[in-house]
Amino acid sequence: MCHQTVSLVARHLEANGLPSVIVGSARDVVEHCGVARFVFTDFPLGNPCGHPWRRDMQREVVGAALRLLETASGPRTTLVAPYAWKDDPGWRERYNRVDPADRGRLIALGEERRRLRGEAKRRKMSRAFSPAR
């Protein structure tokens, strides 16, 4: 989910008396929104609690968020999780990078996906407006 949207929802919840903690990786966005409590995990988007299938790491991140909920000394408290993404300092440079040689294939895949979604939508609309039998 969008970090900005979640942050603004958290601000609304806080303003109405419901404490919240955000766990995420878009530090600049979340801190700009001014959430009360934030656990920053320097991981690729979509992996806020850690590596897939690493329950130990995920439990630690969630535990840190719950402890922050109990112990934050004031608003706009950010806790930096002490983990690295798969011990690979170069992941950020490669994350979502498209090799120019692969660009054409990816464009074709996207166009095909949009075509199929459009066809499915048209079929659904035609069924919705066809006379009942």
Picking from 53, 52, 48, the residue whose alpha carbon sits closest to that of residue 64 is 48
CB count, 10 Å around CB of 54? 15
Query: How would you list the strands of the sheet with 22-24, edge to edge?
Result: 22-24, 37-40, 77-80
For the cut 80, the answer to whether the pLDDT of residue 14 exceeds it is yes
Higher pLDDT, 131 or 123: 123
What's the rounded mean pLDDT across residues 103-120? 93
Any idea where the domains of the chain sit in the sequence? Answer: 3-88, 98-133
Place of tokens 């660009």: 103
What pLDDT was estimated at residue 56? 94
Q: Residue 62 burial (CB < 10 Å; 0-12/13-18/19+)?
A: middle
Residue 124, pLDDT above cutoff 80: yes
Cα(81)–Cα(23) distance, integer angstroms: 10
Residue-wise pLDDT tens digits, 26-75 = 999 999 999 999 999 999 888 999 988 999 999 999 999 999 999 988 88
pTM of the model: 0.70
